[in-house]
Structure 1
């Protein structure tokens, strides 16, 4: 996976990070997540990020955290790589995953949105551009085929098979209709190989609570 001039190196990752807690929406390194931003606090967040490195952390709420607004401890930071303003005052953005993080500390609100001190060290390898060999892809594709047939999901198979292994695994983790807990397990899988194996298990056992219709594009 080739990097580009805009991809940060480890030493450039921010010391503080705005977070967007959203259930069922995850981001992974090199994956992409489109978002429709309309709440004033999150409009503030995006506008601030555009002027300060374009980084936002996606993280899922955690009802078990013991607080009304508890969050999981691991999320993934993404860089705003595309944005459009709408006539009705929304922002349509595309986040491209950069590196996962652990929440070290939550800071005071800024202009209505939440911020944390991220600890990047555990996931430093997320920035590695090397493409590891993955024997897990073929069993994953077999399980995915069965899962999609049983769920009625429409899939662009040629597009999937053209992806390199890590991008394929992360694309599936982001876009398949798994539940919040399953999504979090995929975020926390340390390596792409572990994530591919977990995806295979989830597909085989239908652990997502399938929705009929929809598709992967």
Structure 2
């Protein structure tokens, strides 16, 4: 299944400041990421990393995520490319939300081919248990976005998600045009995922038990 939408590539230290009339179309709220209790998204990221012994020492961060649209947001996957003070890439944080209101962060250290492997620790789809692992190819975007996340279980790869896109300046005119083309985009993404799940269930795919979610340190 394919979903067409748009995402924001921003510096969480300097989120876009939109004209007053356009602010309902794009909001960036610290409550939507990590523990949700600190003042800024960057503060939440730094606290998550500090709990794992990582200090960016003020280094640059690039964030890819959906923004709030008319107060609503759903981010199946938010990404944070983290650099040291000299610009050296240090790690990637992949923050995953499920449709049950839970979230989990994976700390990734890509190899020389920009590939990361990590055990699956979070219930996302009702059709897959919490086992196996992910292979993620998450190069930091330049003019184009090309991401791949593949679930690997017992020698098979039952699920692969790809995200492709082209970078565009977020001018007021471009934002209005994009919002008209994809109205209330985050709600549409959330609804599309649920609809896909219903269709799979109606086709006889069995539902797996959802285990109790235990929040991580620095994530709620």
Q: What TM-score, normalized to structure 2?
A: 0.30
Q: What TM-score, normalized to structure 1?
A: 0.30
Q: Higher RCO, 1 or 2 (CA under 8 Å, sep at least 6)?
A: 1
The structure in which a higher percent of residues are helix is: 1
